[in-house]
A and B are shown apart, each in its own frame.
Chain A
Amino acid sequence: MGGNNNRAVFIGIFVILIGAIFALKLFVLQVADPSYKLSAESNTRRKVIQFPSRGLIYDRNGKLLVSNQAVYDIMIVPQDLTAFDTLDFCESIGVTPDELRSMFVNMRKQLRQKKILPYKPSVFYKQLSAERYGRFQEKLYKFKGFFVQRRTLRKYEYPLGAHVLGYVGEANKKLLKKDTYYSQGDYVGISGIEKVYEEQLRGHKGVKYELVDVHGRIKGSYRSGRFDVPAISGNNITLSLDIDLQQYGEMLMKNKIGSIVAIEPQTGQVLAMVSAPTYDPSLLVGKVRSHNFGILSTDSLKPLFNRAVQARYPPGSTFKTLNALIGLQEGVLTPATEYSCNMGYHTRSLSVGCHHHVSPLDLTHSIMISCNAYYCHVFRNILDNPQYGSVQAGLNAWKDFMVKFGFGYKLGVDVTNEARGFIPNASYYDKIYRGSWSSLTVISLAIGQGEILTTPIQMANMASMLSNRGKYFTPHVIKQIEDGDIPERFRTVHETGIDTANFTPVLKGMELAVQGGPGCTAGIARIPGIVVCGKTGTAQNPHGKDHSIFIAFAPKDDPKIAVAVYVENGGFGATWAAPIASFMIEKYLTGEVSQRRAWLEKRILEGDLIHGNKK
Chain B
Amino acid sequence: MAIRNSYKSSVDWFTIVIYALLVTFGWINIYAANYSPDSTVFFDMSSEHFKQLIWIALSLVIIGMIFLIDSQFFVEFAYVFYGFTIFLLVTVLLFGKEINGAKSWFEVGPVRFQPAELTKVATALALARLLSRFGFDMSKPMNIVKIGAIIFIPVLMILLQNDTGSALVYFVFILVLFREGMTGYILFFGFIASIVAVLTLIIPNIYIFALITATILITLFYNGVRKCQIKGLLWGALAAASLYFAGKLLKINLLPDYVMLAGIAALTIYLIIISFKKRLRVIPLYLLILWGAITLAFSADYFFNKVLNDYQRTRINVLLGLEEDPLGAGYNVNQSKIAIGSGGLTGKGFLEGTQTKFDFVPEQSTDFIFCTVGEEWGFAGSMFVIIGFVTLILRLIILAERQHSDFSRIYGYGVALIFFFHFAINIGMTIGLAPVIGIPLPFFSYGGSSLWGFTLLLFIFLKLDTNRNELIR
Contact of B338 (CB < 8 Å), options: A25, A36, A213: A36
* Interface Cβ pair total, 8 Å cutoff: 116
- A25–B360 Cα gap in the complex (Å)? 21
Task: Indicate if B401 sits at the interface (CB-CB under 8 A).
Answer: yes
With contacts A11-B175, A36-B340, A214-B360 known, is A25 near B431, CB below 8 A?
yes
Closest to A18 in B: B424
Cross-chain contact A5 with B386 (CB below 8 angstroms): no
Contact of A19 (CB < 8 Å), options: B181, B340, B386, B431: B386
- A23–B383 Cα gap in the complex (Å)? 7
Task: Indicate if A21 sits at the interface (CB-CB under 8 A).
Answer: yes
Chain B contact residues, CB within 8 Å of chain A: 36-37, 175, 178-181, 335, 337-345, 354-355, 357-360, 374-375, 378-379, 382-383, 386-387, 389-390, 393-394, 397, 400-401, 413, 417, 420, 423-424, 427-428, 431-433
Cross-chain contact B358 with A36 (CB below 8 angstroms): no
Task: Indicate if A595 sits at the interface (CB-CB under 8 A).
Answer: no
Tell me, rounded to whole Å, the shortest Cβ–Cβ distance linking B132 to chain A. Answer: 12
Closest to A43 in B: B360
Tell me, rounded to whole Å, the shortest Cβ–Cβ distance linking B88 to chain A. Answer: 30
Cross-chain contact A19 with B389 (CB below 8 angstroms): yes
> Would you call the interface of chain B mostly helix, strand, loop, or mixed?
helix
> Would you call the interface of chain A mostly helix, strand, loop, or mixed?
helix
With contacts A30-B345, A35-B341, A36-B342 known, is A21 near B358, CB below 8 A?
no
Cross-chain contact A40 with B424 (CB below 8 angstroms): no
A residues less than 8 Å from B37 (CB atoms): 219-220
Closest to B347 in A: A30
- A39–B433 Cα gap in the complex (Å)? 20
- A8–B413 Cα gap in the complex (Å)? 9
With contacts A16-B394, A29-B431, A214-B359 known, is A4 near B179, CB below 8 A?
yes
With contacts A16-B394, A26-B431 known, is A213 near B360, CB below 8 A?
yes
A residues less than 8 Å from B383 (CB atoms): 23, 26
Cross-chain contact B386 with A23 (CB below 8 angstroms): yes
A residues less than 8 Å from B413 (CB atoms): 11
B residues less than 8 Å from A220 (CB atoms): 37
Closest to A35 in B: B341
A residues less than 8 Å from B382 (CB atoms): 26, 30
Contact with B along A453-494 (1 / 0, CB 8 A): 000000000000000000000000000000000000000000
Contact with B along A292-327 (1 / 0, CB 8 A): 000000000000000000000000000000000000
A residues less than 8 Å from B179 (CB atoms): 4, 7-8, 11
Which A residues from 44 to 68 make CB contacts under 8 A with B? 44
A-B contact pairs, 17 of them (CB 8 A): A7-B178, A11-B413, A12-B397, A15-B420, A18-B424, A18-B428, A21-B433, A29-B340, A30-B343, A35-B341, A39-B342, A41-B342, A213-B360, A214-B358, A219-B36, A219-B358, A220-B37
Tell me, rounded to whole Å, the shortest Cβ–Cβ distance linking B332 to chain A. Answer: 11
B residues less than 8 Å from A5 (CB atoms): 401
Tell me, rounded to whole Å, the shortest Cβ–Cβ distance linking B183 to chain A. Answer: 11
Q: A26-B382, A29-B340 are in contact. List 12 more A-B contacts (CB 8 A).
A: A4-B180, A8-B400, A11-B175, A15-B394, A16-B390, A18-B420, A22-B428, A26-B383, A36-B341, A39-B338, A44-B360, A215-B359
Which A residues from 258 to 304 make CB contacts under 8 A with B? none
- A25–B433 Cα gap in the complex (Å)? 9
A residues less than 8 Å from B424 (CB atoms): 18
- A13–B430 Cα gap in the complex (Å)? 23
Cross-chain contact B431 with A11 (CB below 8 angstroms): no
Cross-chain contact A22 with B427 (CB below 8 angstroms): yes
- A25–B36 Cα gap in the complex (Å)? 30
B residues less than 8 Å from A213 (CB atoms): 357-360
